[in-house]
Amino acid sequence: MKRWKLFLPLAFFLTFCVLLYIGLFMEDKNELPSMLLDKPVPEFSLKKLQQPAETVTEEALKGRILLLNVWGSWCPACKVEHPYLMKLAREGINIVGVNYKDERQGALEWLDRLEDPYLFNIVDKDGRLGLDLGVYGAPETFLIDKHGVIRYKHIGILDDRVWKKDLKPLYDALQKELVQ
Amino acid sequence: MNPELGLFALILATCLALLQSIIPLLGSYNGRLNWMATGKTLASGQFVFVLLSFMCLVFAFVSDDFSVQYVASNSSSLLPVYYKVTAVWGGHEGSLLLWILTLTGWGQVVALRSNKLPPELSARVLSVMGMISVGFLLFILLTSNPFARILPFPPVQGSDLNPLLQDLGMIVHPPMLYMGYVGFAVAFAFAIAALLGGQLDSAWARWARPWTTVAWCFLTAGISLGSWWAYYELGWGGWWFWDPVENASLMPWLTGTALIHSLAVTEKRGLFKSWTLLLAITTFSLSLFGTFLVRSGVLTSVHAFANDPERGLFILGYLLVVVGASLTLFAFRAPEVRSKISFSLLSRETLLLLNNIILVTSCATVLLGTMFPLLLDSLDLGMISVGPPYFNLLFVPLSMLLAACLGIGILLNWKKGSLSWLKQQVRWILVVSVVGGIIFSFLYGDRFLVSEALAIGLVLWMVLTIGKDVRNKTRNIGLLKGMRKLKPAYYGMQLAHLGLAVTFIGVALTSGYSVQKDLRMNPGDTARVGEYVFRFDGVNQRQGPNYVSDFGTVKVFKDKQQIAVLNPEKRVYTVQGMPMTEAAIDSGLTRDLYVALGEPLGDDSWAVRLYVKPYIRFIWLGSIFMALGGLLAISDKRYRVRLKKKVALSGKKAALAGNPGPSLDSGKDATVTTGGQA
């Protein structure tokens, strides 16, 4: 064995660390993606999940404050998030789903089996809308104002802590604007 | 007062850990026995203070001290007292404290058992363990203090423990897992001590072996508990989800399994020395990496309850120091010469090497799958999510290959074997396995499934080769008499291998023949799943200690006989207002009946999910066998009595051979300084 080969594990490990480091910073970058923040939702024209005959565009997201929730029936974390979305929906918060890279059958079964917190679902089977939105994985949740502009993005499970700390203050402020 | 006492104890423990990482190590170089001996005292002191600190936190939970931030966010006064205790490790800070408690506990045990070791070695091992715990203690003190207070206005009520974690499986799962993770720290410490001292003969492998095996047993138990918990608590009916956090615990298990096998080769045959060292370092690094993955929020996951980049940065820095330093040490000190010991292509050594290659490849597969989204994203190559299809595609064939090799590896002897002998040995076993697998798949279930035939064939192959090996070993003196003569270590090994076969049965039959039905059921409705008839008897409301529940009743009949009453629930936990599905399971060795409630559909009808899962218990039964096998193996006397003798012997041998090997500076203990790289 050549001596230098013994350095390979070290080299491999250091490369790996660089990757993790970038990963850590990316979290920060994605938390408030400067690119998309305060920009309108990118244009799209996709089918609805439960009403496959209907097409939705970004226009359908205008006129009310809503949460755009990216999910898939393949995603265990979404399952954990789901009860909380139900809770929000019961409190009267508008949630629109983006069914991301999913099989239609699986998605319908999911909504059947669990409850359906969504006003409607946008089918993003090949992930184009997700790509435009800079989706990293499911679940992700965007806060959209009445003009269809993205005001906040949360990566990962939306739970009570995240809602109260990050989203609710913004949501309440937007709500106030709407009233005035 | 109590929380401050806990914090103070933690700070004291940090000071002791700092001393422990320096003094014994220095002593091992300047040859002062009393410096080296401080390691044991310091390890005990550290353990006592961490334990005290942990008890303070337990007390804060039990006495509902909501002025402590961590208690307020993870408990409530409504919580039953046993969950208050387990809530201690329900969040980030507390589970970190548990991690440290486990680590210092291991340190304490190593200190107690270290009398059998040469003083330099035990001093270095304890110093390395001290260094590991300094890092974690600083981590908890600087970024995640569990005793931080909310003053002057503490909340009257806590925000309750995450309902997912209010469960028996969760009480034991994390401690078990941590015992495993942290246990590999001992193997790691032995490897580093060996590298520091240049003692790279087979002696270190002999010492590290029992520790590694114990850690492995705990990790095995911990992982299967986690899988069992996910099965009944998450209500998805699955038992493994390739979730990043699950992967984080699987990776050290895979390399740990490789490590116990390569340690065997290093100990018995003096081969694979550098490789074994590298595996010991890798396994512990992956344990640390698992912690990083769970705690930093690099990847989103079901279990990652604490997402905090600052903490992530700390762990990454720590990882860089610990792993970077050990790999650098490895690069400079690992034996570079190829061993002169030879073995033929068809020998146990080769098969164990194959075992290692397969296990490490599996681990790399899992690592790649877990990190791939991150990798692509950070290189700006676009976004991809890697799901179960990827893992199953690669992992399943690798496991099957492993099972195939296992049979041959068991039969072969060390050093050399011949193809004709092997052929003669496995001929009939091979035929029986192939035919048996095919027949099974034809008879069981509705249709022929290739993967199930293959899996059952491999199960037969493993079981029969194990049986054959026992026959071979007892051939000369008769089966019963011979079996009494075989060592516990041998039985332990075979029990663990048998465990793998049992797990194979469980995985194959569950994934091949599970039946699932999603139905809308009115009270009184019946549904047939396989040979079972389920009758839905409606839902009524019940009040639990900290939740209200829709309490369903489902009766199960087989051949018109009632065999089970199941009570699936939908609970709403009062404090967090969070709904939870509690599946009801009637478990049996050959099948589980699994019922979960969906949502109410109006006029008393409910969405109901029914599963029949054949042989799913075998998955966990197999892992119990594996863990017990490991424990049986280390109960073997030779690990206790002959330790010193063996060292003395190998020392003499090396001295005779005129190959003293790299010697220590001190040269106090003649048995230690001679190692040699024969």
| Tokens encoding B628 | 């017990």
- Are residue A17 and residue A65 in the same domain, yes or no? no
Average pLDDT value for chain B: 84
**What is the distance of C-alpha B229 from the center of its chain?**
15
CB < 8 Å to A83, chain B: 578-580
What's the CATH number where A139 sits? 3.40.30.10
* Highest mean pLDDT: which range of A75-79, A94-98, B113-117, B162-166: A94-98
Mean pLDDT to the nearest integer, B242-267: 90
Contact B153, B255 (CB under 8 A): no
The conformational region for residue B3 under phi > 0 = left, psi -120 to 50 = alpha, else beta, is alpha
- Are residue A85 and residue A114 in the same domain, yes or no? yes
Predicted confidence (pLDDT) per residue in B421-480, tens digit = 888 888 899 999 999 999 998 888 778 888 899 999 999 999 999 999 998 888 888 888
CB < 8 Å to A26, chain B: 374, 377-378
Query: Is the predicted pLDDT of residue B199 greater than 90, yes or no?
Result: no
Whether the bond into A76 is cis, omega within 30 of 0: no
| Cβ pair A13:B285 closer than 8 A | yes
Query: Is the predicted pLDDT of residue B373 greater than 80, yes or no?
Result: no
- Are residue A21 and residue A109 in the same domain, yes or no? no
Q: Where are the domains of chain B?
A: 1-160, 418-512+620-634, 515-615, 641-678
Its domain, for residue A153, covers 38-179
| Cβ pair A156:B576 closer than 8 A | no
- Return d(Cα B356, Cα B276) in angstroms, integer: 10
| Cβ pair A9:B579 closer than 8 A | no
- Are residue A83 and residue A19 in the same domain, yes or no? no
- Are residue A160 and residue A91 in the same domain, yes or no? yes
Buried b (16+ CB within 10 A) or exposed e, B103-139: bbbbbbbbbeebeebbbbbbbbbbbbbbbbbbbbbeb
Query: Is the predicted pLDDT of residue B663 greater than 60, yes or no?
Result: no
| Cβ pair B378:A19 closer than 8 A | yes
Higher per-residue pLDDT: B225 or B673: B225
Lowest mean pLDDT among A137-146, A171-180, B282-291, B505-514: A171-180
Closest CA to B279 of A12, A18, A11, A9: A9
How many Cα atoms occupy the beta-carbon half-sphere of B507 within 13 Å? 21
Measure the CA angle with vertex A70, ends A58 and A16; round to 5°: 125
Nearest CA in chain B to A27: B298
- Are residue A135 and residue A158 in the same domain, yes or no? yes
Q: What is the CATH number of domain B1-160?
A: 1.20.120
Mutate: best of B292, B327, B580, partner A, most A CBs <10 A: B327
Closest CA to A21 of B300, B255, B371, B131: B371
pLDDT at B301: 41
- Are residue A94 and residue A115 in the same domain, yes or no? yes
- Are residue A97 and residue A144 in the same domain, yes or no? yes
**Partner B contacted by A85 (CB < 8 A):** no
| Cβ pair A27:B327 closer than 8 A | no
pLDDT above 70 as % of chain B = 88
Count up the domains in chain A and report the number. 2
- According to DSSP, the residues that pair with A45 across neighbouring strands are A57
Nearest CA in chain B to A10: B327
ipTM of the complex, rounded to two decimals:
0.76
Question: Strands B547-558, B569-573: parallel, antiparallel or unpaired by DSSP?
Answer: antiparallel
Smallest CA–CA distance, residue B110 to chain A, in Å, is 28
Lowest mean pLDDT among B10-14, B180-184, B298-302: B298-302
**Partner B contacted by A32 (CB < 8 A):** no
- Are residue A26 and residue A52 in the same domain, yes or no? no
- Return d(Cα B607, Cα A115) in angstroms, integer: 10
pLDDT band at B495 (very low <50, low <70, confident <90, very high): very high
CB-nearest partner of A76 from B243, B285, B607:
B243
**Partner B contacted by A137 (CB < 8 A):** yes
Beta sheet of B515-521, edge-to-edge order? B515-521, B606-614, B591-600, B584-587
Predicted confidence (pLDDT) per residue in B39-48, tens digit = 999 999 999 9
| Cβ pair B609:A113 closer than 8 A | yes
Closest CA to B590 of B444, B459, B391: B444
Query: Is the predicted pLDDT of residue B61 greater than 70, yes or no?
Result: yes
| Cβ pair A13:B323 closer than 8 A | yes
pLDDT at B295: 66
| Cβ pair B298:A127 closer than 8 A | no
**Partner B contacted by A87 (CB < 8 A):** yes
- Are residue A52 and residue A24 in the same domain, yes or no? no
- Return d(Cα B610, Cα B170) in angstroms, integer: 25
CB < 8 Å to A6, chain B: 274, 330-332, 334, 336
Nearest CA in chain A to B282: A9
